[in-house]
Amino acid sequence: MIREDKIRQTRFVVDPEDHITVNTAICKNCSEKPCLYVCPVQHYTLEDGDIAYMWQGCLECGACRIVCGLGAIEWKQPRGGFGVYYRFG
C-alpha cells in the first residue's frame, strides 16, 4: 500500500483547539521554508508569499517543528481523546 492510501485510511478526532501555532513573521525571514516539503499531509502552503497551515488532520509527527531552524513553529500534542488514530491504515 502506498503512503497516500495509508494516509486516506487514517482516522481523526479533531480537537477544536489548535495544537500547532506558527509565527508567520519569523517565516518571512526563512528562504528555504522546509515545512512546505516535510509535512507528509502537505498542510503547509504558500499563499501570497506567506506560510499558511492547517492543524486539522495533522499526523502529529512533529517534523515541521524539527525542521524549522528559526523556531517559528510551536507544536504540542492534542488534548486527551483528540488527534490521530493510526490503527486504521
Lowest mean per-residue pLDDT among 10-19, 30-39, 40-49, 65-74: 10-19
pTM beyond 0.95: the answer is: no
In order of start, what are the domains of the chain with their CATH numbers? 3-88 (3.30.70.20)
Mean pLDDT of the chain: 83
Q: Read off the pLDDT band of 1 (50, 70, 90).
A: low
The string of DSSP codes covering 20-70 is: EEE-HHHHTT-SS-THHHH-TT--EEEETTEEEE--TT-----HHHHH-TT
Q: How far is CA 67 from CA 29, 63, 85, in A?
A: 15, 6, 24
pLDDT computed for residue 46 by the predictor? 93
Closest CA to 36 of 18, 24, 59, 52: 52
* The pLDDT of residue 56 is above 70: yes
Spatial distance between the Cα atoms of 34 and 38, rounded to a whole number of angstroms = 6
pLDDT computed for residue 2 by the predictor? 76
Q: How far is C-alpha 43 from the geometric centre of its chain's CA atoms?
A: 5
Spatial distance between the Cα atoms of 70 and 33, rounded to a whole number of angstroms = 10
More confident residue, 24 or 77: 24
pLDDT computed for residue 58 by the predictor? 82
